Amino acid sequence: MPTRDEILTELGLVPTWRRRARAGADAAPEAPRPAEPAAAPARACAVSEDAESRAARIGRLEWRDFAGDVDACTACGLAQSRKKSVPGVGDVHAEWLLVGEAPGSEEDAKGEPFVGQAGKLLDNMLAALDMKRGENVYIANVLKCRPPNNRTPEPREVDACRPYLDRQIALIAPKLIVALGKSAATTLLGVDATIASLRGRVHRYQGVPLVVTYHPAYLLRNLPEKAKAWEDLLFARRTLRGAAVVDTVPGQN
């Protein structure tokens, strides 16, 4: 198991990402809770189901049916091009919910969010916070299926898929949502804004505090921004611990 210094060195963040000792700031993390295995009996979406009925049905899904329902979903055109659906992964009782935009090619092939180099960076960032994928963390995307060629999701695709994310939030009841990247942030918050203007504040989605940071794939292309992402994660942790003031922007969820 690498030490935090080794992780920060690998991320190229020493000394920028080195945490200062602060009284009470580094309480021992909670004992990890095992992720519950997701039973996933397939359940087909009825083709004739209208959007309202579908949203209501998804809003009643339990974990045992969730992944199978996503896998059988044909509510938008992405069902035609996906290899695998990517419902999400992690601790279903997590305090932290990390939300990205949509699966990429490697996620599409494996059926798991944030794999490959971006996923490795995300795991290293979590490790620097003494956290681990699957332990008090759940990772999902706004869209559960990959847009072809990683194009930007269309509004109708987001609308069709949103009931799944909303149900995940209701089932997990996270204490904090971290939106990874501009697309996830602006989609969840319903605003057209730069990521720079959204960082460093506590927003809300579905009543849950939400903070914004960069997508790991963006960080891989823009290494100097890693230090800002680290600041965001520390801000997120302070928010979860109740040390940051919720600054809800009028008009947002």
Q: Which two tokens stand for residue 121?
A: 């960076």
Of the candidate residues 55, 145, 172, 179, the single one contacting ligand SF4 (CB under 6 A):
145
Q: Note if the bond before 15 is cis, omega within 30 degrees.
A: yes
Task: Tell me the three state secondary structure of residue 177.
Answer: strand
CA distances from 9 to 2, 3, 217, 219, 223 (A): 11, 10, 19, 15, 13
CA distances from 37 to 58, 62, 89, 164, 171 (A): 19, 13, 10, 18, 14
211 binds ligand SF4 (CB under 6 A): no
The span of 2-10, 75-83, 181-189, 210-218 binding ligand SF4 (CB under 6 A) equals 75-83
189 binds ligand SF4 (CB under 6 A): no
> Judged by CB, which is closer to ligand SF4: 160, or 172?
160
76 binds ligand SF4 (CB under 6 A): yes
Of the candidate residues 107, 121, 129, 144, the single one contacting ligand SF4 (CB under 6 A):
144
Of the candidate residues 100, 157, 181, 198, the single one contacting ligand SF4 (CB under 6 A):
157
**Cβ count within 10 A of residue 61:** 20
229 binds ligand SF4 (CB under 6 A): no
Residues that bind ligand SF4 in the complex, under the rule CB under 6 A: 70, 73-76, 78-79, 85, 143-145, 157, 160-161
